[in-house]
Structure 1
């Protein structure tokens, strides 16, 4: 059984994007993900959510619809943290919290570029297949972000 295979419940993928931090950071807003992530067809704020809660609906090209709650956003530290609060179809695990952090590369061969890390922590009921899928989805999304930013 797949559930009997021990696995980590976290994933972290990263990329160096040949563009200044400001060019990358302005896309790291939940409703803007569809402007670079080719798996998404649309991202939009959910109207009627509580004033203290920022919720975005992501519609994926495969038909999956998820509501994403922004947990943290720091324009000073250049990171965003979010969680999936609902999904249709339903997820096979209980929860996931993800963070995207952007850092300027200040020296060396990549000076002037941006280091981006996309990490996620899943609930303990996420199996190895979920973690592997998350790894590849984050790699694809980072490659999409790189293509979008570097072509400008």
Structure 2
């Protein structure tokens, strides 16, 4: 069983607009997210933010990579209430310009520790697909 999941889509919006929505790290485009609260240096590597989901789950994310060159960021879950069923998870979102038509290719990758179950990976898959569709809808002209 793989503890890796990658989902992607093409969004009919320029890279700058898509990257602005992703790099804000507030997940405003995603209907599952109720709110985000910036904790410590949220835009710097090592910074943290608290994400509250509509179901009451509260997770704390730490930014572990932020690249303006690659238009990518990586964050990890450092706390979750209620607790999650795996030891660790890292998530990377990257935006790439599609030069043929000035659209954007977005890829969201998740890597879970070896104890991440198939159910966790599949849940991640469908949530990412929904989030990417909602991101596209919020940004397309």
The alignment's TM-score, normalised by the length of structure 1, stands at 0.87
1:18 correspondence with 2:12: yes
The number of aligned residues is 140
1:66 correspondence with 2:23: no
Deviation (angstroms), 1:75: 1.4
Deviation (angstroms), 1:46: 1.1
Deviation (angstroms), 1:31: 3.8
CA–CA distance in structure 1, aligned partners of residues 76 and 45 of structure 2: 15
Gaps of 5+ in 2: none
Q: Secondary structure at the match of 1:121?
A: strand
RMSD: 1.7
Contact 1:30/1:56, CA 8 A, preserved across alignment: no
Q: Secondary structure at the match of 1:126?
A: coil
User: Which runs of at least 4 in structure 1 moved beyond 3 Å after TM superposition?
Assistant: none
Match of 2:88 in 1: 95
1:37 correspondence with 2:18: no
Q: Secondary structure at the match of 1:25?
A: helix
Match of 1:76 in 2: 69
The alignment's TM-score, normalised by the length of structure 2, stands at 0.94
Summarize deviations over 1:105-148 as a string: whole Å, max 9, x none.
Answer: 012xxx21000000011000011100100000110110110011
Q: Secondary structure at the match of 2:26?
A: helix
Match of 1:3 in 2: none
1:104 correspondence with 2:97: yes
The one of 115, 120, 123 equivalent to 1:130 is 120
Q: Cα gap change, 1:14/1:48 in structure 2, threshold over 3 Å: closer, same or farther?
A: closer
